Amino acid sequence: MSSLTSLISNRSTPFHTFEFFPPRTEAGLVNLLDRIQRLSSSPLPSPLAVSVTWGAGGSTADKSLELAEHIVKLGLDVILHLTCTNMPKEKVDQALDKCKSLGIRNILALRGDAPRSEEYSTEPNPQPDYFQHADDLVRYIRKNYDDYFCIGVAGYPTPHPDSESLETELHYLKLKCDAGADFIITQLFYDVEGFLDWVRTCREKGIKQPIIPGIMPIQSFASFRRLVNLTKCPVPESISQDLLPLSSDDSSVKRYGAELATKMVKQILDSKLVPGIHFCTLNLEKSVRTILENLDWTSSTAPSTNTSNKIERSPIIRHNRLIEDDQPQTNGAIAINGHSSVATNGNGQEHDQISELSVSPSEANQQAQWGLQHHSLPPIPKKGAATSNSGKGTEDSWDEYPNGRFTDVRSPAYGEIDGWGSGLKITAAQALKEWGTPTTVTELSRFFTSYLNSSPETPTTPFCDLPLSPESLTILPYLIELNSEKFKYWTVGSQPCIDAIPSEDKIHGWGPSGGYVFQKSFVEFFVKPEQVEKLQSKVDKKGENKISMYAGNKKGDFRTNTGEDTVNAVTWGVFPGKEIIQSTIIESESFLAWKEEAFDIWTEWSLLYPRYSPARKLLEGISSEWWLVSLIHHDYKDKEALWKFLLEDEE
């Protein structure tokens, strides 16, 4: 593996890097590795490096290192993100030592969440060696690991949400660079001229390190709006005006996002102020592939990028090939649940003509099974299994929209809208202002009801950082009653049932125009333990086999009335010239993955308050004792069915 700065210095033409985050599911990991292979394979140019994100406080440490190791085995250079606040030095050392053992040379040193004071720490006797800022981490790595690591830091062309001004942010960037940083990757932005002016200002301030702009293609209107709200990134008025009429057509928004990013990249590279581009993929493929193709960056036209790391797509379906004698696996191959991914030879050249005409027995068997099992979608995996949807000319576009918590568990993007993982999506100061200091269950019921009523005092909750959607407003009376003192069902997810609404509909529509969308009603909420058994009994007695129930707690207890392999498509669309698209799927694996995140959010919320305070004690108790419940009603033609079932009095 090489340092990023050495790779950059050996180039005379622009490069690109990709950013991915650790998928939440095993199937998502396998499919992500397939995507990385395709995005690094001819005719597309190979990325100079691939970065892997790291959850604040080390929350994704194991998964981040696992993904990094797989990418190294694919023959690609890795940039591992590493946050340092609220993490003991021992955990930082473990990550850095693991990187050394894998040959990873590049670290992106980040602060992460704002450091907690001793009063707010989760540890009874908090360690005094917590890092406070990213420059602390840079100095620590330099002091203890000398020049082994090539260290990157974050740059903010627009002020960080916690920063006072752009001038202040430049001061902190200079501190990080003076501490020993080697390169800079920027936060997302959409004002190119403003970015270029910022680069010029950096140079005037004596910042000489390579600056790599972070480009995040707009994937959907909802995720774009959420990202802007989270990062406080200013958006040119022209972009907002362009997006507004497209907001209900996810396909058009995605095309616009790719076209906009293409224009931005061209303008940035034409300036000659930066050496390359960093693409924030959100673990999705279609947009970045489109951008690279729009730029005409193909293997025949783009400058070669780290050719020793070229990898071949696997499995590639080629017909009429001879089955050759069994041979040992090629160097650089890895096997994940029986799925083999084979690298090219060491000099980066494609396999010779003989290998193009032959296939090993194991590969032949694998491709035959793959061809029988895979069509437009990979199969839903059984528990503990994983799938692959790889193939020549094939893209995993089946999970491209809508994206977020309820997408297919096979998707590398499952459970994510922005790639920042679980946790609170607003600053601590803003959270305390908007969420107050609840100390009783009654106050929490009022809090959730206040949000549903669009109260100015409660514009967000820990589970939603945007106002209630227009679609949720259509079932608002039911949601308010569920959250009332009578029921205390604190809802965090819901949708009404709809039957063949045009895809252009301003409230319910999504996907390409000219189609029709359908939904089953469902609702998710937190309840006391004693209510779970009552709900399950009610579903069994009065559900008429039309209601699926999932329930779980933080301890790992789980209840459902569905079979092990049951899959519930609760949102689907029928569009001209396309197969039916199932954009929202709920089943055991997806519920359990979300359950883990949901209770982490309660814990993060509790950390806003001092140890032993009534507010922290209340929220910690809910996190450890209450249950998350999801109910799905399968009669999508009866708009009242789920709500009548839930709200009717017990006999």
**Predicted TM-score of the model (pTM):** 0.73
Q: Name the 3-class secondary structure at 219.
A: coil
Instruction: Give the position of tokens 């709500």.
Output: 643
Q: CA-CA distance, 17 to 214, in Å (whole number)? A: 9
The token pair at 591 is 């519920």
β-sheet with 521-527: strand ranges across: 490-495, 521-527, 627-633, 547-553, 558-560
Report pLDDT for 305: 42
Residue 268 binned pLDDT confidence (cut-offs 50, 70, 90): very high
Would you say residue 420 has pLDDT above 70?
no
Each residue of 312-359: pLDDT tens digit? 333 333 333 444 443 333 332 222 222 222 222 233 333 333 333 444
To 5 degrees, how large is the angle CA 44–CA 47–CA 50?
135
Each residue of 307-325: pLDDT tens digit? 344 333 333 333 334 444 4
Is the torsion defined by CA of 528, 529, 530, 533 positive or negative?
positive
Report pLDDT for 590: 83
Would you say residue 110 has pLDDT above 80?
yes
Most confident of 42-46, 84-88, 546-550, 595-599: 546-550
Lowest mean pLDDT among 113-122, 448-457, 481-490, 496-505: 113-122
The residues with which 108 forms a beta bridge, in sequence order, are 81, 152
Would you say residue 363 has pLDDT above 60?
no
Q: CA-CA distance, 579 to 104, in Å (whole number)? A: 42
Q: Letter for the amino acid at 322?
A: L
pLDDT mean across residues, the chain:
81
Q: CA-CA distance, 328 to 418, in Å (whole number)? A: 41
Q: Is residue 651 among the annotated active site residues? A: no
Instruction: Decide if 534 contacts 488 (C-beta within 8 A).
Output: no
* Angle (deg, nearest 10), helices 192-204 and 166-178: 50
Q: Which of 19, 169, 395, 620 is catalytic?
A: 19
Each residue of 584-595: pLDDT tens digit? 888 888 888 889
Residue 581 binned pLDDT confidence (cut-offs 50, 70, 90): confident
- Asked if residue 576 has a cis previous peptide bond (ω within 30° of 0), the answer is no
Residue 231 binned pLDDT confidence (cut-offs 50, 70, 90): confident
Q: Residues 270-294: what's their mean pLDDT? A: 94
